Structure 1
Amino acid sequence: MSPLMDVAGLQARLADHRRTVLLDVRWALGDPHGYRHYLQEHLPGAVFVDLHTELAAPGVPERGRHPLPAPEDFEASARRWGISDGDVVVAYDDSGNMAAARVWWMLRDAGLAQVYLLDGGLAAWRAAGLPLEAGPVVPAPGGVHLTHGTMPALDATAASAWPEAGLLLDARAGERYRGEFEPIDPRAGHIPGAISAPTSENVDGSGRFLPPDSLRRRFESLGVRDGVQVAVYCGSGVTAAHEVAALEVAGFAAALYPGSFSEWSNNPDLPVAAGAEPGLGGAQPGGNTDAGKGSVAL
């Protein structure tokens, strides 16, 4: 099952009044006003989802910037969004689904089967000339029962050993992977053995996912193959979920490292590699890396 739903498919569902829960995950680094943007315009009936408070627990160094919330807290949020068992959920944002992928992965991990990303997000809906509405949406509470652990995930210990038997992809921008700058985490570089695979290359200029065959060629060029175990991390486990979705579009399954580099780099006992090569076995543990400022990926 594809993780994507296109605008025409969503429009048809809404026109037929088929039960659909819309989640607006409007958030981007450097722009803390997602809720304000949501209030100005959003898809009809869409409920706002706050990434910081509903899709993450408070950040702590040993768990990273956006640790997963407790399962019971996430279930309470999902019910507040109006989700009940068996519902179809469609999530979107205004940044190529880089943020919305977080709730897609979390709901899938929690056992909800029919969860989709609106391909192209708000921009695609707007480009189609479809109606938007303003103001808050407060749905009737849902009664969904969520589980935990349906999607594959790994911790720092598993991430450390992963490149020896599988493929570990770093979804951050290439310059952060190479350690050319690190404006938010305590050390610059990447997990030793990881391959650079920026999330930005999963989408076209409009924010839509590349076609399945294009994504498959992209990931195969990085070493992804059927039968090869694949895992993904980013800065704090948010945009890595987008790469998991892209891999699924391409026909590959992948695990997520939720703590990602923000967790890894805060542990001085874990080594960090720098440069364009994976650096397996050649990295050194220890202190901070002095790196310049630049744009930040999640």
Structure 2
Amino acid sequence: MVSLHATTRIPVSAWLLTTLVALAGCQPDTATGGPGSIVTVDWLSQNVADTTIVPIHVGSEAVFNEEHIPGASYLSFADFAVRNDSATGLRNELPPPDTMRQRLEALGISDDSKIVVYSDNERTLFATRLLFTLDYLGLGEQSFLLDGGLLAWKAAGNPVTADLPDTRPGTLSTKPVNELVVDAAWIAARMNTPGYVLVDARPHEQYAGAQEQTESRQGHIPGAVNLPLTELYDQDGKMRHAAELQRLFQNAGFTPGDTVVAYCVTGVLATGVTYAARHLGYEILVYDGSIEDWSADPDRPMTASPSADRR
């Protein structure tokens, strides 16, 4: 469970200027960042022969079998998003840490690996969900999102292959998990707590309760702001520039020192928002059960309004 802590606040204008200057000077052509880091296809093409780099293809196995980045291994969504085996039966939960480490080791990942995750289409949500899982396992400092994924790689004229990589098993040290996940009780106890902004990453129609949801009640958690995942990435699956991201987060009501607490339907879309937030330097948490969990209890409040809490 995550505990509240005091945050030191600085004027928004000064913080924003400092943040954007720092981000402008950080070229994504280096792989030295922490959680939320991005690399370009140019960087990967120049370093693809580096044996410490392990590209991970997420998306369709059929696409992977037909074409993927040379040296890439495949992980299916089911490898890192599992159904909860408790009475709740929640979907797309984090796998047991030891099980996930073994899967990563089988792909040749070790303590010194640079893990470059990419999507095979313009939707980044599976890639960011895997990156969130890696961050949870303590591997966030060595994990990176390939901006634009396979589509950008091919558009730049880089080669693809159907050949499987010659992989030797890796070795990962056991690390304590990062406490990045909160539950319904945590959300209920901290609604409207200063320093935490609850973000609904779903399309606005779902947030507003205008679109029927078969798995849950309609509407959103009271106090949540709506920042759809699709606003943070362009139509080609590339993350928007830092200045544009910062404007979107500010318009959603964020101030310096805030923690992004994101949810969606089952915790997948939410990771696209938190990865962008990490990229800007925000602390992040994910309500992994999301609306599927929250709305299952009729005593938990829901708000359905086309305009409420949209900033």
Residues 1:260 and 2:293 are matched in the alignment: no
Write the distance in 2 (CA, Å) between the matches of 1:56 and 1:72.
14
Residues 1:4 and 2:38 are matched in the alignment: yes
Residues 1:24 and 2:57 are matched in the alignment: yes
Provide TM-score, normalisation by structure 1.
Answer: 0.85
Write the distance in 2 (CA, Å) between the matches of 1:97 and 1:234.
15
Q: Which amino acid aligns with 2:45?
A: Q
TM-superposition CA deviations, 1:56-100 (whole Å, max 9, x none): 222567252111111111111111222111210000112342210
Residues 1:219 and 2:249 are matched in the alignment: yes
Q: Secondary structure at the match of 1:89?
A: strand
Q: Which amino acid aligns with 2:247?
A: R
Correspondence 1:164-203 to 2 at 5 A: 164-165=192-193, 166-203=196-233
The verdict on how the C-alpha distance between 1:6 and 1:151 changes in structure 2, with shifts beyond 3 A counting, is farther
Partner of 2:267: 237
Write the distance in 2 (CA, Å) between the matches of 1:229 and 1:98.
20
Match of 1:90 among 91, 99, 116: 116
Write the distance in 1 (CA, Å) between the matches of 2:156 and 2:118.
15
Write the distance in 1 (CA, Å) between the matches of 2:306 and 2:164.
46
CA contact (8 A) 1:63 1:259 kept: no
Residues 1:116 and 2:141 are matched in the alignment: no
The verdict on how the C-alpha distance between 1:119 and 1:227 changes in structure 2, with shifts beyond 3 A counting, is same
CA contact (8 A) 1:64 1:260 kept: no
The verdict on how the C-alpha distance between 1:217 and 1:23 changes in structure 2, with shifts beyond 3 A counting, is same
Write the distance in 2 (CA, Å) between the matches of 1:159 and 1:173.
21
Provide TM-score, normalisation by structure 2.
Answer: 0.81
Partner of 1:272: 302
Residues 1:149 and 2:182 are matched in the alignment: no
Unaligned residue ranges in structure 2 (runs of 5+): 1-32
Percent identity, please.
32
Unaligned residue ranges in structure 1 (runs of 5+): 27-33, 280-298
| Cα displacement (A) at 1:162 | 3.4
The verdict on how the C-alpha distance between 1:254 and 1:196 changes in structure 2, with shifts beyond 3 A counting, is same
**Comparing 117-126 with 61-70, which one deviates more in the overlay?**
61-70
Q: Secondary structure at the match of 1:163?
A: coil
Write the distance in 1 (CA, Å) between the matches of 2:173 and 2:214.
36
| Cα displacement (A) at 1:263 | 1.8
CA contact (8 A) 2:54 2:109 kept: yes
| Cα displacement (A) at 1:177 | 0.7
CA contact (8 A) 2:37 2:144 kept: yes
The verdict on how the C-alpha distance between 1:161 and 1:230 changes in structure 2, with shifts beyond 3 A counting, is farther
| Cα displacement (A) at 1:136 | 4.1
Write the distance in 1 (CA, Å) between the matches of 2:89 and 2:303.
20
Write the distance in 2 (CA, Å) between the matches of 1:187 and 1:233.
15
CA contact (8 A) 1:216 1:251 kept: no
CA contact (8 A) 1:63 1:263 kept: no
| Cα displacement (A) at 1:183 | 3.9
Partner of 1:206: 236
The verdict on how the C-alpha distance between 1:266 and 1:136 changes in structure 2, with shifts beyond 3 A counting, is farther
Q: Secondary structure at the match of 2:275?
A: helix
| Cα displacement (A) at 1:151 | 5.1
| Cα displacement (A) at 1:228 | 2.2
The verdict on how the C-alpha distance between 1:270 and 1:204 changes in structure 2, with shifts beyond 3 A counting, is same
In the alignment of these two chains, the number of paired residues is 270
The verdict on how the C-alpha distance between 1:269 and 1:147 changes in structure 2, with shifts beyond 3 A counting, is farther
Write the distance in 2 (CA, Å) between the matches of 1:109 and 1:235.
20
| Cα displacement (A) at 1:159 | 1.8
Write the distance in 2 (CA, Å) between the matches of 1:191 and 1:128.
42
Write the distance in 2 (CA, Å) between the matches of 1:193 and 1:80.
43
Write the distance in 2 (CA, Å) between the matches of 1:270 and 1:63.
18
